[in-house]
Amino acid sequence: MQKKLTPEQFKELYQKLPEELQDALFDEKTGNNTFEICQRNNIENYLDDVAYFIKQTLIGFLPPEDFQETLEKELNIKNEVAKVVTREINRFIFFPLKSFLEELYKTKTTTSEKMITQKNTKSFLGLEKRNKEQDLYRESIE
């Protein structure tokens, strides 16, 4: 299940956003596009949920590449429908904000990559410290 943001978390993330993303979160055009996309794809009963996931993406909490999977898992929307809905949301809502979203998620990705690199480096260094006599894959030179 998708983790929900507390009002405090939302406020904190919102304040760090570029003005364009802040505006898009509450823009009437975003709401209209969301409604039209849900209506076209016969998922009007999920309108509030879809709008919530769009806001999570715009605030930096749900990566755009996970949007379709989230619709499928959280709302039990069929793969084909989720794919069409995601494509339309990308086109009408996320694409106009592409550069801001890329910057937002690039910052998050860079932080994640640093953590992964540090973890792999520690692991690699741990291998170097191993005693050669304990290595089962080395043959004895004697």
In tens digits, the chain (142 residues) has pLDDT values of: 567 778 898 899 899 999 999 999 999 999 999 999 999 999 999 999 999 999 999 999 899 999 999 999 999 999 999 999 999 999 999 999 999 999 998 865 544 444 444 444 444 444 444 444 555 555 666 6
Q: Token digits for 35?
A: 């409604």
Domain that holds residue 122: 7-130
Number of domains the chain is built from: 1
**pLDDT score for 46:** 96
Per the domain annotation, does 65 fall within a domain?
yes
Per the domain annotation, does 32 fall within a domain?
yes
Per the domain annotation, does 62 fall within a domain?
yes
C-alpha–C-alpha distance, residues 96 and 93, integer Å: 6
**pLDDT score for 126:** 47
- Among candidates 29, 95, 28, which has minimal Cα distance to 57? 95
Per the domain annotation, does 142 fall within a domain?
no
Per the domain annotation, does 138 fall within a domain?
no
Per the domain annotation, does 141 fall within a domain?
no
Do residues 54 and 30 lie in contact, with contact meaning Cβ atoms separated by under 8 Å? yes
Per the domain annotation, does 1 fall within a domain?
no
Q: What DSSP state is assigned to residue 93?
A: I
**pLDDT score for 117:** 45
H or E stretch covering 8: helix 7-16
